[in-house]
Structure 1
Amino acid sequence: MSVQFTYGTRSTEQAAAEAVIRFVSKKELVQGEGAMPIVQPQIDDALKAQYAKGLFKADAEQVEVMPTLGLYPAAHIVFVGHDEEAGASGLRLAAAAAAKALKKLRAEKVQILLPDAVLEGAYASIGAERAAQALTEGLLLALHVRQPLKREQSERFTLKEVAFVPQGAAVAAEHATLWESGIAKGKLYAEGVNLARDLTNLPGNDLTPERLAYHAEEMARELDLEIEVIDEWSAAEQRMGGLLGVGQGSINPPRMIVIHYKGNPGSEEAWGLIGKGITFDTGGISLKRAEGMQEMISDMGGAAAVLGAMRVIGELKPAINVIAVIPTAENMPSDRAIKPGDVLRMMSGHTVEIVNTDAEGRLVLADGLTTAITRGATKLVDVATLTGAVSVALGTQATGAVTNHEELFKQVQAASERAGERIWQLPAYPEYKKQIKSDAADLKNSGGRYAGTITGGLFIGHFAEGLPWVHLDIAGTAWLESSRGWETKGATGVMVRTLIELIVHHE
């Protein structure tokens, strides 16, 4: 990203800032005479008057934009409500709220004033580096928007210069190195998320399985990563019955993409990250309803999350091994498509009765897990827009999780908390597995309406071969009808930062 970030004492070129951001707490707005100024006496009085009238309450994400009318070197001040004890998520949300105001102002050069209360609260709870990372992520992620395909293309608004300026100059030099490191991480994490968003937002006639493989190859080449792209003939040789079965109804053939990152060649341990890559999902013969089907371009959100994470992992180069696997196909109805009642033999050798062709993601993921295992993965995390049922259970607020290994799940959950992405674990009682038993095969690919997210997850877990495994169902969180916080309308890039935290900062 081309945005230039700096951290330090107040610049002599402060007049160059088009807008200034100041995070404000309720405590500051009720302080009497003798208190440290918020920004400037007259402007402070105007803000406090807004507070007294109940117009600005300094609530989280609440924004008040004030023109300075020559009382301050910048043209506008953006006040953002903030709770000093809200941690990294609070800073990320505050920065995202500020970013949206900057976009309306078209302010490309900004300063962010950091009062002692914000700095001290952040440092006490999360440290300087994570505070800088959270603020940088919030700004960059909130400004990202889907780029429409138009005859006359419009440019995305982007920041050019951002200066973080501590109002208590004593801490500036002391934490400068940590801030620079946090800013660099924030920019890199945001790039990974925005890559995932851009891929997911692509129309289905552009992003076919072959094109998704092309994007993966380009990224791997840039980062000097080893990549395998398994076409339909090689997939047949390796008996990938799930991948081939789902993809056989489309003119666009499926692909199995495998990216190898070898950060610790001497270790036998390797993470397997598997992302569902259904580039468009009609439901196949079990056709979906027409309303809302256009959003099924997002059915490769899990694949995008894995690619976004691998981009950052390839840049940061942690001393750990990762095998990223993306089974990608297009689920279409045709005279060649699989149909209810068919039985597929998966790469693992297990057989699956097809009772609903719209439960296709778990079929390609089953072969994806086997692919990761055969290439040396010792613990598995899959990410998938798997079930509508997860939205019924959790809405768009949290990603659902199913696991066979509590310790691994705790690692994933800790990573999600650091990233500010909510995950909620669902039960995996043995009784649920009875719902996916088949009279015609080892398994059937749907356990019916009840506990659909759990049974879908357990179907995938059957192919983990007893290895530690966590399934993340992002069907409710990968795509939004309207923006919120740092997540934009359309593709959100959810789980990119969680996967990065899991791999780069695992314990």
Structure 2
Amino acid sequence: MNGWNSTDSRLFSWTYDSPEAGSPDRNEALVYFMSQEEAPPPLLRQELKDAIVGLSEAKVFAAGRGEAEVLPTLGFNPYPQIIIAGLGPSGADAQAWREAAAAAVRKALARGIGKLAIMTDSVGKTESDPLTRIRALTEGFMLGSYYRQTYKKTAPSRVLLEQVKYYVTDKAEEAKLQDAIQTGCIYASATNYARDLTNTPGNAFVPETMASEAKRLAEAYGLECAVLDDKQLLEQGMLGLYNVGKGSIHPPRMIVLKYQGLPEWKNVLGLVGKGVTFDTGGISLKKADGMDEMISDMGGGAVLLGVMKAIGEMKPQVNVLAVIPSAENMPSDRALKPGDVISTLSGKTIEVTNTDAEGRIILADGVTYAKQLGAGRIIDVATLTGAVLVSLGDLATGAVSNNDAFMKELLQAAERSGERLWQLPAYPEYKEALKSSVADIKNSTVNRWAGAITGGLFIGEFAEDTPWIHLDTGGTAYLLKERGVDPEGGTGAMVRTLLHYIVH
């Protein structure tokens, strides 16, 4: 019996047949998965097992996480080539399967192989059940096959992933099997979409572009969308966002997407995403080295658009509000200056001591607006600080919260997603560094100690008593080198964690 996934029937399928029953073409490979403690897969001919052992003895392939190799079968298998992918130590979790799938598909595409057949039960010991495993594999194949768009005169020749077929032996219920593949597809597709947005050059993606993309999503998936322009920001008192964006020829926008999956607009989760489409630092100008990476400073907003895309596809029974304050932080004769004191939608005033700490200023208005629109709990996502990179490197997203129970739920969602999330302390003493003698709060501290924490706590002042979590993706939203399921460039970090929290 064969089945096709309803979300992307062009890509994923499954069969209960044996691999020997198929007629693979030259562009197809059969994928096996191995843990480090296990012998080569028993279904293989002895000649191929010996070849795998030889790779291990030559220290070419040790079945570690992220390892994969392609072997020609030389007529010893119906498939012209096989791919072996490592799961690391025995007892592989879902993330190990994601990483193995990503490694396998990258190796396949590099060798010109666009069709894969998967032996999902090719290891004996695993911590994940078959359906969780297939969902993780689906995510891994889609995430690992991601290509960053180029703008070269002659486009590079690339082999794309054409087909993935699962050989399933456990006779899982068809509806559950289809749901596992479909969910994996949607989560990975949302992440890849956020990656595309994050990687878009700053000259092609300005606040108005971000607003247009939100409107396109709303139309495509039946969401409600509202966009406030710079004049409306002034009228409504959103002066934090207005002042950050006023130095650019591309005026700021406040973008709102609303999904109502419950009969009443209550129990609303508010998502607030930083949408700085390019950050020069403003008058407090950044150094030239690495400034090109600031195309990713709208990574928080990109994550929210990815999340809302997935929610629009899945239609869960939840209420979700996405608020994206979007601006371009530029130096000019109109730009915000160090020493300025500005008001915000909340009525609180900010002493601007550093115009390069602009993200927290626009998020202040975003958080207040989310509360006004009915959010009962709030998660903000932002490439907020370089300090989080100093603290956690590019391996984990930092989190600050005013509600430990809320935070615990999100940490559990991150564990399920395979994304790394680390809670930072929010001791009251840290807030002392944000006190101002001329305004309610200042946007940057004198010595920048604990910068990831104080930056988050600045936003928390505007959340007030509303349960709130701040996610600082300053180290994880954009990578300089491919790692695990993530590519070089935009990663879409936290899309899948948020979806695991929202949809379960």
CA offsets per residue over residues 433-459 of structure 1, 9 Å max, x none? 010000110000012310111010000
Alignment correspondent of 1:363: 361
> Is the 8 Å Cα contact of residues 63 and 79 (structure 1) preserved in structure 2?
yes
Q: Does the CA-based 8 Å contact 2:36-2:90 persist in structure 1? A: no
Describe how 1:28-43 pairs up with structure 2 within 5 A: 28-29=38-39, 37-43=42-48
The answer for the alignment partner of 2:108 in structure 1 is 102
Secondary structure in 1 aligned to 2:379? strand
Which position in structure 2 is the counterpart of 1:451? 450
Q: Among 14, 20, 23, which residue is 1:6 paired with?
A: 14
Q: Could you tell me whether the CA contact under 8 Å between 1:128 and 1:178 is conserved in 2?
A: no
Aligned 1:225-304 pairs, distance under 5 A: 225-266=223-264, 268-304=266-302
Q: Is 1:463 aligned with 2:468? A: no
1:46 Cα deviation from its structure 2 partner: 1.8
Structure 2 vs 1, CA of residues 409 and 197 (structure 1 numbering), >3 Å: closer, same or farther? Answer: same
8 Å Cα contact 1:479-1:489 kept in structure 2? yes
Number of equivalent positions: 492
Of residues 208-217 and 106-115 in structure 1, the stretch that sits farther from structure 2 once superposed is 106-115
Correspondence for 1:333 among 331, 334, 353: 331
Q: Secondary structure at the match of 1:28?
A: coil
Does the residue aligned with 2:357 lie in a helix, a strand or coil?
A: coil
TM-score under structure 1 length normalisation: 0.94
- 1:33 — aligned with what? none
Q: 1:473 is matched with which residue?
A: 472
Alignment of 1:132 onto 2:134? yes
Greater alpha carbon shift after TM alignment, 308-317 vs 20-29: 20-29
Unpaired runs of at least 5, structure 2: 1-7
Q: Partner letter of residue 205 of structure 2?
A: L
Tell me what 1:47 maps to: 52
Q: Which runs of 4+ in 1 moved over 6 A?
A: none
- 1:150 equivalent in alignment to 2:152: yes
**Aligned partners of 1:39 and 1:219: how far apart in 2?**
47
Distance, in Å, in 2 between the alignment partners of 1:155 and 1:276 is: 35
Instruction: Provide the secondary structure at the position in 2 that maps to 1:117.
Output: coil
Q: Tell me which amino acid in the other structure corresponds to 1:143.
A: S
Does residue 25 of structure 1 match 2:24?
A: no
Structure 2 residue matching 1:157: 3-state secondary structure: coil
CA deviation profile, 1:41-77 (whole Å, cap 9, x unmatched): 1111221233344443222222232111122121211
Q: 1:199 aligns with which of 197, 200, 218?
A: 197
**Contact 1:265 1:321 (8 Å CA) reproduced:** no
8 Å CA contact 1:285–1:337 kept in 2: the answer is yes
| Partner amino acid, structure 2, of 1:88 | A
Residue matched to 2:4: none
In structure 1, stretches of 5+ residues that fail to align are 31-35
Which of 35, 59, 72 is residue 77 of structure 2 equivalent to? 72
CA distance in 2, matches of 1:382, 1:261: 17
Deviation per CA, 1:16-65: give whole Å up to 9, x if none: 362111101233328xxxxx724111111221233344443222222232
Counterpart mapping for 1:170-181 below 5 A: 171=170, 173-181=171-179
The structure-2 alpha-carbon separation of the partners of 1:199 and 1:54, relative to structure 1 and needing over 3 Å to count, comes to closer
Deviations 1:79-127 (A, max 9, x none): 1122441211010011011011111121112211133635x62xxx343
> Which TM-score applies when normalising by structure 2?
0.95
CA RMSD of aligned residues (A): 1.6
Q: What does the per-residue CA deviation read over 1:137-188, in whole Å, with 9 as the maximum and x for residues that have no partner? A: 111101102111123334653211111114xx4x1x2344332211111111
Q: Which of residues 119, 124, 147 in structure 2 aligns to 1:113?
A: 119
